[in-house]
Amino acid sequence: MRARLSTTFRSLTVRNYRLFAGGQLIKLIGVWMMYVAQDWLVLELSNDSPTALGLVTALQFVPVMLLTLYAGTLADRFDKRTLLMVSNGVWAVLAIAQAILIATGVIELWHIMIFAGLLGVAQAIETPVRQAFVSELVGKPLLPNALSLSAATFQTARITGPALAGVAIAWLGTGPVFLVSTVMAIAPVLMQARMNPTELHRPELLPRDERAEAKVVDGLRYVRTRHDLLLPMAMMFVIAMFGYNFQLTLALLAKTVFATGAATFGLFNTALAVGSLAGALAGTARKGRPSVYLLLAAAVAFGLLAIAVGFAPYKWLVLLLLVPTGFSTVFLGQAANQRVQLGVDGAFRGRVMALYVLIFLGTAPIGSMVISWIAEHFGAAAGIWLGGAVSLLAALAALVWQLRHAGDRLAFQARPTPRVRVVRQESVAVA
């Protein structure tokens, strides 16, 4: 057990990464509390309108569509630690202003929409920079473990935040939840200020005279020539747009399908996050780049589980299914992230990760509006299972694409245990 723990948490031996992870954990707990409270407040102010909730969710991610690629060029040009401190500081100021309006009782729906867009601007700058910054904290040998622990940090916050928010909303109302979350939002700035810049790993950065020439189009051309990067990005473009909408659909499922309160919404999020945390920790032992077929298998599993959640007729069954669904959600996203990060040249990491973030988060405005329209006309459950069906089709299409590109094929093995295996072209040639 001691050996396993030392392997799982080995990136925490690096002081800079400990500070980074600690700041992120505190902030993300507050962020998830704020998101849950915000979703509930929007439903209260809009008479349970899925369209209003979808619009607010979309506004959070519109800046990601517009600014993320530019943020990637900033990450390849300037000091990532400084950029993170500035963007996190702006987020904290905006969150405090919104909390004051809510606490004083003057908040209106259009205020929430404006803050959603402004907070999205800060997120659009922070996310790709943070993704690229992890490699500077630990170096490439520890990067798979650090990425997995970062995902585990996110999921730990996702477990704690919604659970705390659900109980706090029921007991105290939305105002206190927002106030607590704003205090926690300043943690990353304080932690990043304590880092030692001389211990950062920056051997792969562009020379200073070349950083000013780093352009978005160069990153796009780089990805276009790399099938191993293009496939996960194309597949995740579809899955993130239609399948990763649980922030929207679970709120609607709890309130409109099962006619329950904020506490059940918190339980749904917690069940999803418990599985997600297990999925994140499952990848901490990985020392290299995940295979493309592991990625594709995770995508197929996610699609099937999301369909099952959408068709589940009972609240207890939804809770049970959300655990493996959360596992597959994070295991898939983590495998895609690691396959991209560990396959990209350091000089292009900021721009490539910005493109990945754009695909992963920037599709949310489109997806949330489509899913909210489906939920409004056909019910929240339809929004979930249709998203799962589209995700499954995307995974199967990516599998066919990969098999044709590599010249591999699938074979069914009945004994000793039934399973599907990949017969690689090299194996056929040798035989």
Q: What is the pLDDT of residue 168?
A: 77
**CB-side neighbour CA atoms (13 Å) of 301:** 20
Cβ-based neighbours of 221, under 8 Å, separated by 6 or more: none
| Exposed / middle / buried, residue 243 (Cβ in 10 Å: 0-12, 13-18, 19+) | buried
CB 311 within 8 A of CB 381: yes
pLDDT in tens, 264-322: 777 887 788 788 878 877 876 666 778 888 899 999 999 999 999 888 888 889 889 99
pLDDT of residue 212: 47
What is the pLDDT tens value at each position of the chain, 431 positions in all? 555 545 677 788 889 999 998 998 999 888 888 887 888 788 888 887 777 887 887 788 778 777 777 777 777 777 888 889 999 999 888 988 888 888 888 888 888 889 988 998 888 888 888 888 888 888 777 888 888 788 778 767 766 777 777 777 777 777 777 888 888 888 888 898 898 888 887 655 455 555 445 566 766 778 888 888 889 989 999 998 888 877 777 777 777 777 676 667 778 877 887 888 788 778 766 667 788 888 999 999 999 999 998 888 888 898 899 999 989 988 898 888 888 887 777 667 777 877 887 777 667 667 777 887 888 788 778 888 898 999 999 999 999 999 888 887 777 776 777 777 777 765 443 33
Specify the pTM.
0.69
Convert the pLDDT of each residue in 1-34 to its tens digit.
555 545 677 788 889 999 998 998 999 888 888 8
Distance, CA of 232 to chain centre: 15
Quote helix, strand, coil % in the chain, to nearest 5.
Answer: 80, 0, 15
* pLDDT of res. 429: 38
> Exposed (0-12), middle (13-18) or buried (19+): which is 237, by Cβ within 10 Å?
middle
